[in-house]
Amino acid sequence: MMARSEIEALIQDLNARLIAGATATETLLAWCDEHGLSQGPISVACRQRHVLAAVPDDVKAALAPLASETVQFRQVQILRGPLPLATAENWFVPQRLAAGMEDVLQTTDLPFGTVIARLRPSRRTLAVQIRPLTADPSEDPSRLSASGHHSQPEVILEHTTVILSETGTALALVTERFFSDLIAVAASKPPLSTSHDGRPQAGSATQSVRLEP
């Protein structure tokens, strides 16, 4: 069992990588490979997808859609194999994507980052919430049953992020909630490489940080 301070350092490490990464898909795959979390590519299971009749004010502020543009909504669970890693609520402007990308997003379960990879996206994180753990994730690193069903994991991080194209165009606003399973196996054994020099340690209470200019 790891000390709580070490578990919180893992959360801070994951948080820093997500902020610095080009896409959550790439960051999660690299993290899972490093810490031995499940196998295969990152995938999603779509829960909702539709065109918004009314766009929320925070989405309008982040994306500034033109009168000729629409905003679509896509809610997914992010997985690697049977292991749930996160949920994502994604508001995106299809007119700002390359030809064919909207159709892929509406008809497949490919991750958003995978679909828009040709646009060389980057992330601008607007807000981060680090949530305190209520249980030690290393006590039971695998809660998968033989049937593959998984109990609902804790949320350890919440990010609100604007996805930008290579040219700086705002493509999407995403709210992501990352699960404790991302640190469960990592907390139960030494990681392949760790580096926390100069990174702040998480406290015992929820931390909220606004990162926009």
Predicted local confidence at residue 101, as pLDDT: 97
Q: What pLDDT digit, counting tens, does each position of 68-119 carry? A: 999 999 999 999 999 999 999 999 999 999 999 999 999 999 999 999 999 9
Pairwise CA distance, residues 187 & 138, whole Å: 5
Max CA pair span of the chain? 55
Instruction: State how far Cα 121 lies from the chain centre.
Output: 14
Q: What pLDDT digit, counting tens, does each position of 134-164 carry? A: 766 555 544 443 344 556 789 999 999 999 9
Name the average pLDDT for the chain: 85
Pairwise CA distance, residues 122 & 24, whole Å: 10
Predicted local confidence at residue 200, as pLDDT: 39
Predicted local confidence at residue 19, as pLDDT: 96
Predicted local confidence at residue 129, as pLDDT: 97
Residues of the chain above pLDDT 70, percent: 77
Q: Average pLDDT in the 182-190 region? A: 69
Query: Any alpha helices (H) in 142-210, and if so which ranges?
Result: 181-188
The DSSP output letter for 64 is -
Q: Average pLDDT in the 9-13 region? A: 94
Residues of the chain above pLDDT 90, percent: 70
Backbone angles phi, psi at 143, to 5 degrees: -105, 20
Predicted local confidence at residue 190, as pLDDT: 54
Domains detected in the chain: 4-140+152-210 (3.40.1410.10)
**Does residue 18 register a pLDDT over 90?**
yes
Give this prediction's pTM: 0.81
Instruction: State how far Cα 16 lies from the chain centre.
Output: 12
The tokens for 107 are 């008809």
Predicted local confidence at residue 134, as pLDDT: 72
160 within 8 A of 175, measured Cβ to Cβ = yes
The DSSP output letter for 83 is E
Q: Give the torsion sign (CA, 184, 36, 25, 85).
A: negative
